[in-house]
Homo-oligomer: A and B are copies of this chain.
Amino acid sequence: MDFAFTEEQNQFRDVVARFCRDKSPSPTVRKIIAGERGFDPEVWQQMCRQLGLAALHVTEQSGGAGFGAVELGIVMEELGRNLMPVPYLSSVLATTALAQLQDAETRDPLMGAISGAERLATLVLDPRSGDPVSRVLTAADHTIAGTAGAVLDGASADLVLAIVADAEGYGLHAVTAPADGYRVRPLRTMDGTRRFAELRFDATPAMRLGTLTDTQVKRVYDTALVALANEMVGGARMLLDSTVEYAQMRVQFGRPIGSFQAIKHRLADLLVDVELATVAAHQAAAALAAGEDVSVNASLAKFTASDAYMNAAREAIQLRGGIGFTWENDTHLWYRRAKSSEVFLGTPAFHRERMIQELTA
């Protein structure tokens, strides 16, 4: 499968990149990390209303903006590069789940509310694997019950979707906050740019929106993986670039540290990591856009990107020496994001195993 970005996609990337750079300089990121909410609502509204990014990758007939997964990947990559804290991936999860529904009357108003930033939506995932089918929630009589751990942007969301298996299949349920018996406990994490919350449902009123097939559930999962992989390669590339620049500039022993061959070779290795992870993430997005079964590639992209990102983060700190270990230096913000990306939606080992499962299925 051959793939290259179109001229339009490159222009789209430029627009998104400029927006991210403008809205997410390091002092802003640090302010948001220190704050309660985890994002700037004004920026989020601009992203949704002016740039129309929230339901970007969903087809128009499913109530989205009609772009494909390639554009989704582009947005994620630029967000990742700039470490931009917005509840974007949670919205993507929600719109992807909604897009699986056939019933336009149910689907489209919710989709519209999300893409217009009137509702902030998320989808409950299994905290360890990222599987969208919740194993801990139960649904009955227009309510759901149970405690979901580590829900992405769970504290900010006022439209919580959950997929719960029942006799008919995988039921997609919606809870609109505030609601009876609904309790939110924000979790503090080392990566303040990505927020989680524990959500408790105590016979909380919920609407069963429809039923998803196996394939549809998998598609939601794979979309999340591909999105995250693209985000990670954006972050990894930024760390590579900034570290190369640092190595060119920083002088020790009378010469730039980038002139030491051991450093040069490690940065060359890191470039290989990042390039390979980048093609993996881009190919997975392209295959998703083409409607192919991407489970193998999605898992492949997830662990390849994660290993590259963590390696970039480690090297970025190491090559800066003591300076790289300070709070003041921004490198650790990306290190924290790399760590949180490594364990979110399943560890690299989990996805190597899943890749083999899918290949031998």
Contact = CB atoms under 8 A, between A and B. Distances in A.
Interface of A: 260-262, 264-265
A197 B279 CA distance: 48
A264 B264 CA distance: 13
A352 to B, nearest CB: 14
A315 to B, nearest CB: 14
Contacts of A264: 262
6 contacts: A260-B261, A261-B261, A261-B262, A262-B262, A262-B264, A262-B265
Contacts of A262: 261-262, 264-265
A261 B260 CA distance: 7
Nearest to A260: B261
A361 B119 CA distance: 53
Contacts of A261: 260-262
A199 to B, nearest CB: 35
Contacts of A260: 261
Nearest to A265: B262
A265 B265 CA distance: 11
A261 B266 CA distance: 11
Nearest to A259: B261
A90 to B, nearest CB: 37
Contacts of A265: 262
Most chain B CB within 10 A, of A260, A261, A264, is at A261
A264 B261 CA distance: 10
A199 B262 CA distance: 51
A112 to B, nearest CB: 53
A260 B260 CA distance: 9
A262 B264 CA distance: 8
Most chain B CB within 10 A, of A260, A262, A264, is at A262
A75 B262 CA distance: 37
A114 to B, nearest CB: 46
A148 to B, nearest CB: 32
A262 B260 CA distance: 8
A178 B201 CA distance: 78
A260 B264 CA distance: 11
A266 to B, nearest CB: 8
A264 B262 CA distance: 8
A270 to B, nearest CB: 14
A321 to B, nearest CB: 16
Closest 6 CB pairs of A and B: A261-B261, A262-B265, A261-B262, A262-B262, A260-B261, A262-B264
A265 B260 CA distance: 11
A272 to B, nearest CB: 15
A52 to B, nearest CB: 48
Nearest to A264: B262
A61 to B, nearest CB: 50
Nearest to A263: B261
A72 B261 CA distance: 42
A264 B260 CA distance: 11
